[in-house]
Amino acid sequence: MCANWAHSTRLRILTYLAGLVLALLVLAWVLLARNLPEASTLLEYETPLPTVVRGIDGEIVHSYARERRVQLQYADFPKPLIEAFLAAEDKTFFSHGGVDLFGTLNAVFDYATKFGSGERAVGGSTITQQVAKNLLLSDEYSVTRKLKEMILARRIEQVMTKPEILELYLNEIPLGRRSFGVQAASRAYFDKDVADLELSEAAFLAILPKAPERYGRARYQDMAIERRNFVLDQMVANGFATPSAAAEAKSRPLGLVQQRTERSADAGYFLEEVRRQLIEQFGETAEDGQDSVYAGGLWVRTSLDTEMQDAARDALRAGLLRYHGNRPWTKPIATLNPDNGDLTSQLASSNLSISYRDWRVGVVTEAGSGATIGFSDGETASLSGAPAAVKVGDVVAAESSGNGYRLRTVPEVSGAFLAQSPQTGRIMAMQGGFDSRLGSFNRATQALRQPGSTIKPFVYAAGLDHGMTPASQVPDQTFCFWQGANLGEKCFRNFGGGGGGTHTMRWGLEQSRNLMTVHIAMEAGMPQVTKTFAQVGIGQYDNYPSFALGAGDTTVEKMVNAYAALANWGRQYAPSVIDYVQDRRGKVIWRSDQRQCDSCNMPEWDGSPMPRFEPGGKQVMDPRTAFQVVHMLQGVITRGTAVRLRDLNLPLFGKTGTTSGPTNAWFVGGSPDIVAGTYIGYDQPRNLGGWVQGGNTAAPIFKQFVEETRDRWTADDFVAPPGVRMVKIDRRSGKRVFAGSPSDDPQAAVIWEAFKPDTEPPRATRTDELAARRNEILELLRRARQGARQNAPPVAAAPRAQPQPAVIEEAVAAD
């Protein structure tokens, strides 16, 4: 050997060349492999998954996803689907070690023949190599990337089993229509689960990795069928399918369904609030953490009640349309600039839409007598009923009419509605405007509005805590307040004017008397009043009397939550839309109820009393005061400003509100189990019209909501907490009576009233009883005379009856 080496120049050259090639290969291997990611990381790899949202009943109502992804285990993939992908992509998958030598040589030869032509060569990648490229490398088209891919494929085969690799591949492969993985693609293309796929459909999915955005389009249908049939032939050649089964599958059309939006409850404002809170808590993308909203695969249980949500949406919309009436079209939903390109494409990018009857959102493409409208799907049609003010680029609502569309008006006025459980704080329904598809601004949680008279119950609560009672006499008289040298004197008046005399606190709340409210606020002290506002979460206000009449800003959510505290004996829970959050494996990683019960999970009973949770929430008001206010607010429904709700025949409490202008119309109230609130007003506050009041504009919205969810409202009345005494009083004078019984008559003279111990009024004196009875009999006689004058012939006037002292005395005695 040494002699040959010494005398053979050729041998030495070949040896040096071989050594050089080997050294270059080692160097290339080191350079390519040294910075490659570890294949073992795939053992801990977690597929980015969307967040799934469930409602109060556990049913799926929405998902937060920018891509369609569903993760399955290997056992969940049907055998024909696996075999279709093997036939199309890697028929030797279960026998090679990560790299198919013959496939690689074929790819090298194809690359050499196409070099410089600009045409892309076949890949020749095995399924393992595709996993390496998709999860560990980029999609760069180069020889070095292919070499890195081969190195990683060999490493992957050393740390993962074949089923594990195939499971990862079938869950991650991009297949078009924003779908990653075969289950998501099966839903996107066929609206089926993978277990329900036909052989022809499984073969179609297997062709998608080559060109997912081409084969899924209608104009490439012939190419897709040809490629699908090729895969079916390969399945027969590899023994995966019989010739007859393949022939039958070839005879079938593709059968693709149209692309559709994900199924979701019509609760955009509610679901957006959930999304906002989740992002704040867990982050938005995978870079923000393993439990992010768009990659973490969270399962979220919410308090959304779809029945109540639909009723809230319909009731608010009906109220807005009722107010809008026959007002003409005023302005577009939005405006697009024709100079920025095709208007329908701009509309599609805006994501503006509407879900009301058969209305559609479109953009005006031609104005004038021959007006036309275009829609986001490219459809165009004639537009009738468009006023001269409509311009090209205006985004409007339209309804199908004849061969075209007719302009429809989304009410310019807006508002909000929110319903909550007072025992838990869970928000069951939330509607923040006419339609969340027209804009994400949520007026239930974000709009700062003056609450008007709906704030008065908390002024009265401050008065009750200051020693007043529902029977206390309060002046209904002008009150002026000196604001200082710069502002001068401020005088208050009742809504609609009028006033005079003194009346019970109950009457003042039922009739929403501004002057009485200010007198109560002054009696209790404005610092105590604003402290009460802050305690129940309405807002932080200065100690000015105008805030006692609702001049400060707050939200529907805060007002409903404050009323929920009233209905729950003064115990208030923070409003919540999320009950708890689970990670992708089902572990609870966050819950709204943070109470602990350490003894609940003990392995064996230790003989002690059953462990119980401590009461949740926060006590923000004396339970007795809360009940007294609720009891008075029931009178608002019975005979006060919300009397139109009386025929619901339910134990309800509530309060209307109308702010100066009027610019806002409110109603907040409910039952022991459900509290809801609503307002109507322009986003930029302006006069709603002199006829508008909370009782005739907002209360009907609440009424419709109750009527549409009647099965959810019980006849159970409010229960008094310990320490409350129910005493019979004269409703007008507020004095205690012992004779007579309260009745269901809304105008009954004798009613039950709620008092704290030792605050109930003394029994009426004999003089008071005689005076009250005398006034009552005189009122009866006055009515009798009026009736006689109306019924008697004109020539025969009825004689005036004179009451006899003996009769009066007898009536009093009988009482």
Instruction: Name the residues annotated as catalytic.
Output: 89, 453
Peptide bond into 50 cis (omega under 30): no
Picking from 254, 154, 262, the residue whose alpha carbon sits closest to that of residue 201 is: 254
Region at 656 (left for phi over 0; alpha for psi -120 to 50; beta for the rest):
beta
Contact 703, 710 (CB under 8 A): no
Picking from 319, 379, 312, 316, the residue whose alpha carbon sits closest to that of residue 343 is: 379
Contact 785, 800 (CB under 8 A): yes
Cα 743–chain centre separation: 43
According to DSSP, the residues that pair with 590 across neighbouring strands are 581
Sorted by sequence, the CB contacts under 8 Å of residue 194 that are 6+ apart come out as 72, 76, 77, 78, 81, 182, 183, 186
Picking from 58, 247, 76, 64, the residue whose alpha carbon sits closest to that of residue 163 is: 76
Burial 668-687 (b: 16+ CB within 10 A, else e): bbbbbebbbbbbbbbeeeee
β-strands 68-69, 179-180 pairing? parallel
Structure tokens at 19: 């050594």
Distance CA 110, CA 195 (A): 37
**Where does 160-207 have alpha helices with state H?**
162-172, 182-190, 199-207
According to DSSP, the residues that pair with 571 across neighbouring strands are 619
- Collapsing DSSP to helix, strand or coil, 642 comes out as coil
The number of C-alpha atoms within 13 Å of 429 and in the hemisphere containing its C-beta is 28
β-strands 618-619, 479-482 pairing? unpaired
Q: How many CB atoms lie within 10 A of CB 120?
A: 10
Distance CA 515, CA 544 (A): 15
Cα 596–chain centre separation: 28
Cα 815–chain centre separation: 57
Strand order in the sheet with 299-302: 60-64, 51-54, 299-302, 578-582, 588-591
Structure tokens at 5: 């080496």
Structure tokens at 344: 């329908």
Distance CA 813, CA 408 (A): 68
Distance CA 393, CA 391 (A): 6
